[in-house]
């Protein structure tokens, strides 16, 4: 064991994860660490108790104490609270039981009684259950005269404000008041667009809202949160940096009236997202609780992965799994996009888009590789990224993310990709013909998709006869055909000659003797560029089905001339992105990829593609 450990090594987190503390605060606390070489223990000089506190030994660590010392320093240096006004491990009686509050701040250093408490802080180690921790904090506040408390794990801080007229009603407070600053002063100071902060973990916030606020309100949590997200998007988009935002709680103003106006304008701007009759169904009390959690954060210019993870959480895994449809792990999406190497003038489609992960990663890839300038985001999103999905909720997610990316929400369409009648001339009334023309056959340069694996399509669907895969040797329509096979054929029809496709399929399709006809069909229409076998954990906890990425390019005289014999790229993903329980092995896509062999596979394919002089890769 190393005798010297950094603060981050003790906490077992990455150096960029303690986002609520400045670099100076981190440096100061690290300077207070005391390393005992003989015992291999680490202590810290407590800022309040003025004595050494053990925070680490080879057999035990105390990460909460490190976070506590950091937050004490933040309270002192950023908010101006004197150290002598603080006490730690203060007993709080709640009915017949009592617990210890981690930090308590008093108004008067000489009179440290409960009547003079101005703030309580509940400390947890990083990634602890925020919902449970906030419940504990609120029980402390309810038992005391104070109105304010803070929950923090070092990555986020959630300030809770108790309703003065009801000690069991709470909302999120804007910020910690500075020393001598009144609660009323903070309440009457309103957010401007420039004041909005980056979101740290929206999934946690959404989960807390589902569990603590919306669970007992008799509404569909998904629908109501999305209405508010679009109301907030409209507010952010319509305001200049110096302008005061409407999406926030204001003294003396009825919040429901304000939010309803914003939502009405959002419906008008993004007509394809909501129906005209849609209304916000939350009570004033619930609206206050929800808006208080979201008002300080910005949605535009936010890391897509943070939004993506939150929105994926909002769709029940069970409801997707019933159709064999599971969200593709983001690290897998990332390397697929890299292997497909999209350019800024190419049209990209995902016909079973889910939350549009492939499109968002494509958008990020184009930006990261400086293929477009920032001012061209809107043009690129509107003209080049297209999504279709049969689930109206995932389409809403895709629309929201595409609005945030570049306002291309109209390119996310709610319909059944497999039903070819949707695009028939006879169905103009059913499906907007102007939109249908943008999804014409043979019109896409790239398709990246993970279609539903499970389930068969029966002849009663009315469209089975449109597919070669659904006809027998006598050209009679079969009674049923597997959904994923129809998607293969459908996707190849969407694709231009010379266009390319990456599709996630059950591995059996590529090696079962009974599926030989499928492989022959694919080889007839495409060059098989490569096959990447994914680790069996990739789609856990939802399924342990072994899957592969199939990489194809449609035959074309110029871009992909027909060949009988050619090399194929093969690779196997042996280092999984998830553990056996289905949890990601690292907190971010970038960190996960670094711990797997996916980046090596993408690089090996790029070398193969360049050597083979594939049309979408530069020659070596």
Residue 334 falls inside a structural domain? yes
The answer to whether 190 and 245 have CB atoms below 8 angstroms apart is yes
Backbone angles phi, psi at 121, to 5 degrees: -125, 130
CA distance 104 to 112: 9
Dihedral angle of Cα 338, 339, 341, 342, to the nearest 10 degrees = -90
HSE-CB for 580 with a 13 A CA cutoff: 0
User: pLDDT tens, 172-193?
Assistant: 998 999 999 999 999 899 999 9
- Provide the 3-class DSSP secondary structure of residue 359: helix
Q: Give the domain CATH number at 471.
A: 3.40.50.150
pLDDT score for 511: 82
CA distances in angstroms from 344 to 37, 339, 370, 373, 607, listed in the order given: 57, 15, 10, 11, 21
Q: Residue 167 corresponds to which tokens in the numbers above?
A: 């000690």
* Cis amide bond preceding 541, omega within 30: yes
Same-domain status, 392 and 518: yes
Residue 72 falls inside a structural domain? yes
Residue 158 falls inside a structural domain? yes
Same-domain status, 350 and 420: yes
Same-domain status, 169 and 202: no
Instruction: Give the end of a domain, one of 164, 194, 224.
Output: 194
User: Structural domain tally of the chain?
Assistant: 4
- Provide the 3-class DSSP secondary structure of residue 377: helix
Instruction: Give the end of a domain, one of 194, 217, 247.
Output: 194
Residue 279 has pLDDT above 90, yes or no: yes
pLDDT band of 410, cuts 50, 70, 90:
low
Same-domain status, 89 and 228: no
Among 285-294, 426-435, 474-483, name the one with the lowest average pLDDT.
Answer: 426-435
CA distance 422 to 315: 26
User: Of 32-41, 256-265, 373-382, 611-620, where does the model show the most confidence?
Assistant: 256-265
CA distance 263 to 231: 5
For residue 429, the tally of other CB atoms under 10 A from its CB is 7
Q: What is the DSSP letter of 194?
A: G
Residue 42 falls inside a structural domain? yes
Give Cβ neighbours of residue 537 (< 8 Å, ≥ 6 apart): 544, 576, 577, 578, 579, 580, 582
Q: Across all residues in the chain, what is the average pLDDT?
A: 87
User: pLDDT tens, 578-612?
Assistant: 999 888 887 777 888 888 999 999 999 999 999 99
- Provide the 3-class DSSP secondary structure of residue 531: strand
Q: What is the DSSP letter of 452?
A: -
pLDDT band of 426, cuts 50, 70, 90:
very low
Residue 617 falls inside a structural domain? no
pLDDT score for 424: 57
pLDDT score for 409: 63
Task: Name beta bridge partners: 528.
Answer: 552
CA distance 512 to 528: 17
Residue 114 falls inside a structural domain? yes
Nearest-Å Rg of the Cα atoms of the chain is 28
User: pLDDT tens, 216-269?
Assistant: 777 888 889 999 999 999 999 999 999 999 999 998 889 999 999 999 999 998
pLDDT score for 18: 86
Residue 180 falls inside a structural domain? yes
Same-domain status, 410 and 322: yes
Q: Greater confidence, 168 or 326?
A: 168
pTM: 0.79
Residue 407 has pLDDT above 50, yes or no: yes
Same-domain status, 356 and 476: yes
pLDDT score for 326: 66
Instruction: Give the end of a domain, one of 294, 324, 344.
Output: 294
Angle between helices 357-368 and 377-384 (to 10 degrees): 140
The answer to whether 349 and 375 have CB atoms below 8 angstroms apart is no
- Provide the 3-class DSSP secondary structure of residue 553: strand
First to last CA, the chain: 46
User: pLDDT tens, 162-176?
Assistant: 989 888 889 999 899
pLDDT score for 456: 81
Same-domain status, 377 and 503: yes
Give Cβ neighbours of residue 169 (< 8 Å, ≥ 6 apart): 162, 163, 285
HSE-CB for 20 with a 13 A CA cutoff: 26
Task: Please identify which residue in the block is written with the tokens 């050619």.
Answer: 566
Residue 317 has pLDDT above 60, yes or no: no
Same-domain status, 432 and 314: yes
Q: Of 305, 288, 424, 281, whose CA–CA distance to 357 is shortest? A: 305
CA distance 404 to 307: 10
The answer to whether 431 and 415 have CB atoms below 8 angstroms apart is yes
Q: Of 458, 463, 465, 467, whose CA–CA distance to 485 is shortest? A: 467
CA distance 608 to 620: 10
Residue 486 falls inside a structural domain? yes
Same-domain status, 566 and 432: yes
Mean pLDDT for the stretch of residues 5-33: 86
Q: Give the domain CATH number at 122.
A: 3.90.1570.30
Any idea how long the chain is? 620
Q: Of 72, 273, 249, whose CA–CA distance to 174 is shortest? A: 249
- Provide the 3-class DSSP secondary structure of residue 189: coil
Same-domain status, 141 and 50: no
CA distance 300 to 247: 14
User: pLDDT tens, 35-47?
Assistant: 988 888 999 999 9
Query: 113 is in which domain, residue-wise?
Result: 83-194
pLDDT score for 334: 94
Residue 432 has pLDDT above 60, yes or no: no
Q: Of 209, 261, 271, whose CA–CA distance to 235 is shortest? A: 261
Same-domain status, 411 and 498: yes
pLDDT band of 369, cuts 50, 70, 90:
confident
Same-domain status, 143 and 104: yes
Task: Name beta bridge partners: 448.
Answer: 502
Residue 10 has pLDDT above 50, yes or no: yes
Residue 439 has pLDDT above 90, yes or no: no
């Amino acid at each position: 064991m190393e005798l010297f450990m950094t603060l981050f090594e003790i906490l077992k987190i990455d150096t960029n994860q303690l986002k609520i503390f400045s670099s100076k605060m981190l440096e100061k606390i690290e300077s207070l660490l005391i390393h005992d070489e003989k015992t291999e223990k680490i202590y810290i000089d407590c800022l309040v108790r003025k004595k050494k506190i053990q925070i680490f030994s080879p057999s035990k660590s105390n990460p909460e104490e490190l976070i506590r010392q950091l937050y004490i320093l933040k309270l002192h240096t950023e908010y101006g609270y004197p150290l002598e006004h603080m006490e730690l491990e203060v007993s709080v009686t709640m009915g017949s039981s009592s617990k210890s509050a981690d930090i308590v701040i008093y108004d008067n250093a000489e009179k440290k009684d409960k009547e003079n408490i101005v703030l309580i802080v509940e400390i947890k180690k990083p990634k602890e259950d925020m919902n449970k921790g906030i419940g504990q904090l609120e029980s402390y506040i309810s038992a005391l005269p104070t109105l304010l408390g803070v929950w923090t794990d070092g990555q986020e801080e959630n300030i809770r404000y108790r309703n003065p007229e009801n000690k069991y009603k709470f909302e999120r407070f804007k910020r910690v008041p500075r020393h001598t600053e009144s609660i009323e002063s903070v309440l009457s100071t309103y957010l401007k667009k420039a004041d909005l902060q980056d979101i740290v973990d929206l999934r946690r916030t959404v989960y807390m809202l589902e569990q603590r606020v919306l669970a007992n309100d008799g509404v569909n949590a998904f629908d109501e949160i999305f209405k508010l997200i679009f109301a907030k998007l409209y507010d952010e988009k319509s305001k200049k940096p110096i302008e005061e935002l409407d999406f926030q709680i204001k003294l003396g103003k009825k919040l429901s009236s304000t939010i309803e106006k914003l939502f009405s304008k959002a419906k008008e701007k993004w007509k394809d997202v909501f129906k005209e009759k849609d209304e916000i169904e939350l009570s004033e009390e619930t609206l206050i609780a929800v808006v208080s959690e979201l008002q300080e954060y910005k949605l535009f210019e936010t890391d897509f992965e943070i939004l993506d993870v939150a929105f994926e959480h909002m769709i029940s895994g069970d409801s997707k799994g019933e159709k064999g449809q599971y969200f593709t792990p983001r690290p897998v999406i990332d390397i697929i996009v890299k292997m497909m190497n999209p350019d800024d003038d190419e049209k990209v489609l995902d016909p079973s888009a889910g939350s549009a992960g492939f499109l968002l990663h494509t958008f990020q890839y184009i930006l990261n590789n400086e293929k477009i300038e920032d001012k061209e985001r809107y043009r690129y999103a509107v003209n080049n990224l297209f999504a279709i999905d049969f689930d109206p909720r995932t389409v809403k997610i895709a629309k929201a993310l595409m609005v945030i990316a570049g306002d291309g929400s109209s390119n996310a369409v709610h319909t059944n990709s497999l039903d070819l009648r949707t695009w028939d001339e006879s169905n103009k009334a059913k499906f907007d013909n102007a939109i249908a023309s943008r999804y014409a056959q043979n019109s896409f340069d790239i398709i990246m998709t993970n279609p539903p694996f499970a389930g068969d399509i029966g002849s009663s669907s009315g469209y089975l006869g449109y597919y070669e895969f659904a006809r027998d040797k006598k050209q009679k329509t079969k009674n049923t055909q597997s959904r994923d096979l129809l998607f293969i054929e459908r996707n190849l029809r969407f694709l231009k000659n010379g266009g390319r496709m990456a599709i996630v399929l059950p591995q059996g399709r590529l090696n079962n003797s009974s599926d030989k006809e499928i492989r022959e069909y694919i080889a007839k229409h495409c060059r098989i560029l490569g096959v990447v076998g994914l680790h069996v954990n990739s789609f856990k906890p939802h399924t342990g089905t072994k899957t592969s990425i199939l990489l194809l390019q449609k035959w074309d005289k110029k871009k992909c001339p027909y060949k009988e014999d050619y090399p194929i790229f093969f690779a196997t993903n042996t280092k999984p992105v998830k553990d056996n329980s289905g949890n990601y092995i690292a907190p971010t896509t970038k960190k996960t990829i670094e711990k797997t062999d996916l980046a090596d596979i993408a690089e090996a394919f790029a070398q193969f593609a360049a050597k083979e002089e594939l049309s979408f890769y530069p020659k070596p």
